[in-house]
Amino acid sequence: MNQYDLNLILNPNLSAEQVGIEKDYIETTVKNAGGEISNLDELGNRRLAYAVNKDREGYYLMYTIKAAGNPETDIASTLRLRDHVRRVLVVKDRPEWKTKKA
């Protein structure tokens, strides 16, 4: 199983209940695709570089997941169909990115 970063931007106008529902849906989607969540960084509302669906802000969620296969097709394509999800990005974590250069 490889390690991936799953970054999502949600609608900034969601209530705490709606954010919880979206987080539960994301967790079940990852588990149904055969992955597991190892970390969640919830950054909250942040200003975007450009407007997405006429919103200048977005609610950021950054997951670290372990998954086999291709999570871009399994997980990201399913999450993009949600109404409150604005952006989805899946990046494979590579160990050489964490080493310091001399």
Taking a C-beta distance cutoff of 8 angstroms, is the pair 15, 27 a contact?
no
Question: What is d(CA 41, CA 63) in angstroms, rounded to the nearest whole number?
Answer: 6
Q: What is the pLDDT of residue 27?
A: 95
Q: What is the pLDDT of residue 102?
A: 60
Q: How far is residue 61's CA from residue 58's CA, in Å, rounded to a whole number?
A: 10
pLDDT-based confidence at 98, cuts 50/70/90?
low
Indicate the DSSP class of residue 33.
Answer: T
Helix (H) or strand (E) run with residue 26 in it: helix 16-32
- Per-residue model confidence (pLDDT) at position 78: 92
Residue 32 falls inside a structural domain: yes
The enclosing domain of 23 has a CATH number of 3.30.70.60
Please give the Cα distance from 34 to 47 (Å, whole number).
33
In a domain, 38, yes or no: yes
DSSP 98: G
pLDDT value, residue 28: 95
Mean pLDDT for all residues in the chain: 90
The mean pLDDT of 4-19, rounded to a whole number, is: 94
